[in-house]
């Protein structure tokens, strides 16, 4: 894919895209880049615990990619170091789901999106730390212990894709694959100060990804910039991809953007809204029943997770973290009529959401209403913190709509995020808006 000439002048700098151009010009090589990434990953993992398993064959993979480049058959991500949440199957590489149940599991195949990365020339440098079975928002309950926030090691990364967010923020990976069922890409991205993008439901394959809740799970991308996240998503979609990267990179005239927003009493959030208004963006308040919609999402999430884990829980309940086991037990008590009602109301709620947007381009909300708390503050309080962290994000999984979190400043030295939600299957439009907001907010 030919990239726009203005790539070098973009703010913030699209590190992945620029590195791709350097490799294409032979200013650097896959072996050099992957060697550097692995050294960084080993070093940061000792302090931040962001990986569960590092790829012992990464340099061999880089050598193969370099040979392909010399033969003129390089891919869209040749030589780019990418981390993968340890819930995606990786052939020959341990895949634990962050759980003692799968501590020694080595798959014999790749998840489809991992295959897409490899075919594009990316090198998977490691499997990132996560909340056990992606069933949590703190990343504390993990086979290897908590991942630590890049801005303060005493604080959480958020979850469940906490290790993915940390690996990108710390720099060993130029992008990472995560999963998002109730906000698990967007929450850690916001708390670690990076971009976290959840595409429309089913836009990116979930084949070979251990499920949490089938009808809510999304594969997402974490990166430093919107352009980088969009580029990786384009690769994951394949030849039928709907991402219009040149338009996304160019952005949109702020004076032609109109957005709905939730009215919330959060200083950092309102400061961001004021900043966007000052740049000419038209903002209008809207009221949405997030609490009610979140309750419907929660019923589905708990019931489907209980179904996934039914046999494991019956035979190996002692291997589960207490908070994860408690949620599975809650799910097993949900009645079929309540689950079916929650599924049936989806179309009605989606129509309500689309009517609320009317002629607006998208919806703005906070991502998480707080900065990352200290690990000791949420230890044994995972379920209480969950309701805080998912307040603005879980309803989007219920709708299946695309959403992205953007860094929007800091509060007392810790990052906060602004969420932009779009319409289902209008991901390119959402990313174009996000690219514009990203430049204004930075």
CATH superfamily of 1-286+352-442: Amidase signature (AS) domain (3.90.1300.10)
Which of 85, 127, 198, 391 does the annotation list as catalytic?
85
Which one from 160, 161, 182, 342 is the annotated catalytic residue? 160
Q: Where are the alpha helices (DSSP H) in 335-405?
A: 336-344, 346-357, 375-378, 382-389, 394-399
Does residue 215 have an active-site annotation? no
Active site residue 116: no
Secondary structure class of 212 (helix, strand, coil): coil
Q: What is the pLDDT of residue 242?
A: 81
pLDDT in tens, the chain (442 residues): 566 667 888 899 999 999 999 999 999 999 999 999 999 999 999 999 999 999 999 999 999 999 999 999 999 999 999 999 999 999 999 999 999 999 999 999 999 999 999 999 999 999 999 999 999 999 999 999 999 999 999 999 999 999 999 999 999 999 999 999 999 999 999 999 999 999 999 999 999 999 999 999 999 999 999 999 999 999 999 866 789 999 999 999 999 999 999 999 999 999 999 999 999 999 999 999 999 999 999 999 999 999 999 999 999 999 999 999 999 999 999 999 999 999 999 999 999 999 999 999 999 999 999 999 999 999 989 889 999 999 999 999 999 999 999 999 999 999 999 999 999 999 999 999 999 999 999 8
Residue 73's alpha-carbon distances to 68, 70, 96, 386, 390, in angstroms, are: 5, 8, 33, 46, 43
Query: Which residue in the block uniquely carries the two structure tokens 């850690």?
Result: 188
pLDDT value for 350:
98
Residue 66 near residue 32, CB atoms below 8 Å:
no
Q: Indicate if 160 belongs to the active site.
A: yes
CB burial of 68-79 (b: ≥16 within 10 Å; e: otherwise) equals: bbeeeebbbbbb
Q: Which of 83, 182, 184, 394 is catalytic?
A: 184
Give me the pLDDT at residue 255, please.
97
Of 299, 295, 113, nearest to 213 by C-alpha is 299
What pLDDT score does 240 carry?
65
Burial of 240 (0-12, 13-18, 19+ CB in 10 A): exposed
């Amino acid at each position: 894919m030919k990239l726009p000439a203005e790539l070098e002048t973009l703010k913030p700098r699209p590190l992945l895209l620029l590195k791709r151009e350097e490799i294409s010009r032979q200013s650097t090589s896959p072996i050099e880049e992957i060697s550097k990434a692995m050294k960084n990953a080993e070093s940061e993992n000792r302090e931040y615990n962001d990986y569960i398993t590092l790829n012992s064959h990464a340099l061999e993979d880089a050598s193969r990619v370099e040979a392909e480049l010399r033969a003129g058959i390089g891919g869209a991500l040749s030589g780019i170091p990418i981390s993968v949440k340890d819930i995606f199957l990786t052939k020959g590489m341990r895949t634990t789901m962050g759980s003692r149940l799968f501590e020694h599991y080595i798959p014999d195949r790749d998840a489809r999106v991992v295959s897409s990365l490899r075919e594009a020339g990316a090198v998977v440098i490691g499997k990132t730390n996560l909340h056990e079975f992606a069933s949590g928002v703190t990343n504390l309950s993990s086979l290897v212990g908590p991942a630590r926030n890049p801005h303060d090691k005493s604080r959480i990364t958020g979850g469940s894709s906490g290790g993915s967010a940390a690996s990108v923020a710390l720099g060993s990976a130029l992008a990472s694959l995560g999963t998002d069922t109730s906000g698990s890409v967007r929450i850690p991205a916001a708390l670690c100060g990076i971009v976290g993008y959840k595409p429309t439901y089913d836009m990116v394959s979930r084949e070979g990804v251990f499920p949490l809740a089938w009808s809510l799970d999304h594969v997402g991308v974490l990166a430093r910039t919107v352009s980088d996240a969009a580029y990786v998503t384009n690769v994951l979609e394949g030849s039928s991809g709907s991402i219009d990267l040149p338009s996304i990179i160019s952005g949109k005239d702020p004076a032609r953007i109109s957005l709905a927003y939730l009215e919330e009493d959060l200083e950092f959030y309102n400061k961001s809204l004021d900043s966007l208004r000052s740049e000419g963006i038209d903002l209008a308040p809207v009221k949405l029943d997030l609490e009610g919609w979140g309750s419907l999402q929660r019923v589905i999430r708990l019931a489907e997770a209980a179904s996934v884990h039914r046999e494991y829980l019956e035979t190996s309940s002692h291997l589960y973290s207490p908070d994860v086991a408690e949620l599975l037990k809650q799910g097993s008590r949900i009645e079929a009529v309540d689950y079916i009602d929650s599924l049936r109301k989806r179309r009605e709620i989606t129509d309500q959401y689309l009517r609320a947007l009317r002629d607006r381009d998208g919806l703005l909300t906070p991502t998480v209403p707080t900065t990352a708390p200290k690990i000791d503050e949420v230890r044994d309080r995972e379920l209480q913190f969950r309701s805080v962290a998912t307040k603005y994000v879980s309803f989007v999984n219920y709708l299946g709509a695309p959403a992205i979190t953007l860094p929007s400043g800091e509060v007392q030295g810790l990052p906060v995020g602004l969420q932009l939600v779009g319409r289902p299957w209008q991901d390119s439009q959402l990313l174009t808006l996000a690219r514009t907001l990203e430049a204004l907010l930075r």
